[in-house]
Structure 1
Amino acid sequence: MTQPKFGILITTKNRIEDLKFTLSKISHLIHRPDVECIIWDDGSSDNTYDYIKNNHPEIQIFKNETSKGLIYSRNRLLEKTKAVYAISIDDDLHFITQQPLEVIEAVFSQNNACAVISFRIFWSTSNPETTEHNQQLERVKNFAGGAHVWRMNDWKQLPDYPEWFIFYGEEDFASFNLFKNNKQVLYAPDILCHHRVDLIERKNNHDYILRQRRSLRAGWYLYLLFYPIKLIPQKFAYSLWMQLKLKVFKGQFKTLVAIVQALGDVVLNTPKLIANSNRLSLKEFKEFSKLPDVKLYWKPNNTKH
């Protein structure tokens, strides 16, 4: 069997209807002879594994018997794929761009230092009114966790995503390591994805505190792993103060619970943070800080949410 050029990798858990819709939207890609599709089911109880096994013989599917987290599952997918370029998408996200693989190959072939391409993402439960944009291909700090593609030769030179982060932060962890290796992340707006999520409604979900906790601790983990030591106290204190000022003091008391839990996680994982640190020098940090942040949210009028 020849090596597939592209791998489409999807992690999922208990979102079979979202997954079905995504697969219907990318069916024309999955059935290409140069594409392999692999799904990792993180302990679903909604019959996801059996559905894929029985209805999609063209897809490889694996399952954790009990949930082990998004990042664990992403690591396993990247171990399994044999593709040259490994595309990671969320189970509730699909491509609007009809020929994204050709764009991916062109960007990588024209940019030898590029290890990861991050996609343009439209976040909404409805379709965008237009797909036109005026953005340019550019180097950025990091990438979207559920809408990006790796050049696998570069992935193999890095440590795996930190599974003890569980959810959030893995893309920043990789981006810091890439920067240390003189590799680049590029934002490619010509590849448009539709993330079928209501961002306002998400704040009302039952897992909001858990998401806040994991998001906060991931940011603090990254300070302790990669920032120059002299900058950590100031960055940490500023981050904590802004959470209190912008959320807790304005009545979002759920965030206070998340803050306390996240601080506890930092203390608990201090040995891992020390063992896995790969700090930027002050000069490297200044260079990294000059790079634009990844563009996570796109709207047709080019304003952010």
Structure 2
Amino acid sequence: MNSTSPALSVCVASRNRPDDVIRCLNSLTLLQHVEFEILLIDDASEAPIVDRVLPAIDPILVDRLQVFRHENNKGIPATRNELAERAKAPYLLYLDDDAQLLSAESVDNALTVLKISPEVGAVALSQSDETGKLLPGQPLAIEYRCYAPTFVGYGSLLRRDLFLELGGYREMFAAYYEEPEFCKRMLDRGFYVVYLPDACVIHYKSPIGRNNLVALRNNCRNKCFAAIYNEPSAMMVFSVPLRILLYVYKHWAYCRQHKIKSEFGASWIVREIQQNLPALWRDRRALKWSTYYKWHKIKQAPAYQPAD
């Protein structure tokens, strides 16, 4: 790479998905008009992926690529925090390893939003198939550009300085709900998420490393952790028990539907809270009530209208 000051840092974390990450990286050839760097962390894959990746990616990407490896699995939040710390550009493009760019225009549009709207801290991209058809599970089920409560990890652009200033993701989460929790802290500081449904990222949703029951339990645990970290006391006292009760029902319904033995019930959630409560309480910084009101209003998807 010719410049020591790239305009964009493309950040990818991967674990046990070498074929997916090769496809992801090769899609970055679409960004030749942008001065960018690529940072890839192999988060303790069973077999190191670097020897698979380097011969398989387009030669024009090799000089832009830096590969790092964890010998022990640290999880997505910690790995993405490390990527942000290593990055040199003012903007971070986070991609899941099982995602790939559909077009350069998606990235260009997101960068434009960050450059012309200083109140926007992150841009959420949409997820699509290879034809550009939108998939279920978007940040919002909306067809116009709008403010959104959160982005999703498969594809997003963030301001690096703001991300680092806010402390990045909560590493205790390990996986799931780290983006919404971060976005609430960002909103508390006066920064917003904009969702661009016309800026697509192809997302293949690899089954490797995915488990619906683990996702269900970790989502509940991390929402409870987030409540302890961030919610005003009166809200937290009610929300944590309600989240556990809702989890009990969802967990029971999932196990019954799939005819599997129940595990990781409410007792697992309670133990996780008890074991981690000292650390959670030490880092607790209650957000403003007005932040939660704004969060609720933003769920109604007000249109994004950049200032002239």
* Gap regions ≥5 residues in structure 1: 295-305
Q: Distance in 2 between matches of 1:205 and 1:73?
A: 16
Q: 1:90 to 1:258 in 2, by over 3 A?
A: farther
Structure-1 residue corresponding to 2:103: 97
Q: Distance in 2 between matches of 1:20 and 1:290?
A: 40
Q: Which letter maps to 1:67?
A: N
Q: 1:68 to 1:258 in 2, by over 3 A?
A: farther
Query: Percent of aligned positions with the same letter in both sequences?
Result: 19
How far 1:54 moved relative to its partner?
Answer: 4.8
Instruction: Give yes or no for contact 1:141–1:293 (8 Å, CA) kept in 2.
Output: no
Q: 1:293 to 1:238 in 2, by over 3 A?
A: farther
Structure-1 residue corresponding to 2:29: 27
1:184 to 187, 192, 197: 192
Question: Runs of 4+ in structure 1 displaced over 6 angstroms?
Answer: 131-134
Q: Distance in 2 between matches of 1:102 and 1:47?
A: 33
Whether 2:145 is the aligned partner of 1:167: answer no
Structure-1 residue corresponding to 2:94: 88
1:74 to 80, 83, 102: 80
Q: Distance in 1 between matches of 2:213 and 2:170?
A: 21
Cα RMSD (Å): 2.7
Structure-1 residue corresponding to 2:228: 224
Structure-1 residue corresponding to 2:270: 263
How far 1:128 moved relative to its partner?
Answer: 4.3
Structure-1 residue corresponding to 2:112: 106
Q: 1:102 to 1:33 in 2, by over 3 A?
A: closer
In the alignment of these two chains, the number of paired residues is: 286
How far 1:70 moved relative to its partner?
Answer: 1.4
Structure-1 residue corresponding to 2:218: 214
Q: Distance in 1 between matches of 2:157 and 2:9?
A: 9
* TM-score after normalising by structure 2: 0.83
1:239 to 231, 238, 243: 243
* TM-score after normalising by structure 1: 0.84
Instruction: Give yes or no for contact 1:136–1:189 (8 Å, CA) kept in 2.
Output: yes
Q: 1:205 to 1:142 in 2, by over 3 A?
A: closer
Q: 1:27 to 1:113 in 2, by over 3 A?
A: same
Instruction: Give yes or no for contact 2:217–2:247 (8 Å, CA) kept in 1.
Output: no
1:224-277 residue CA offsets vs partner (Å, 9 max, x unmatched):
111121122322232222223344156256565254323211111101211111
Which is further off, 50-59 or 63-72? Answer: 50-59
Q: Distance in 2 between matches of 1:223 and 1:239?
A: 10
Instruction: Give yes or no for contact 1:209–1:255 (8 Å, CA) kept in 2.
Output: no
Which is further off, 127-136 or 147-156? Answer: 127-136
Structure-2 residue corresponding to 1:41: 42
1:127 to 125, 130, 142: 130
Q: 1:147 to 1:260 in 2, by over 3 A?
A: farther
Q: Distance in 2 between matches of 1:45 and 1:287?
A: 43
Q: Indicate the SS of the match to 2:284.
A: coil
2:19 to 5, 14, 17: 17
Instruction: Give yes or no for contact 1:209–1:258 (8 Å, CA) kept in 2.
Output: no
Q: Distance in 2 between matches of 1:293 and 1:219?
A: 21
1:118-147 residue CA offsets vs partner (Å, 9 max, x unmatched):
11113xxx6347469972221121211231
1:285 to 263, 273, 292: 292
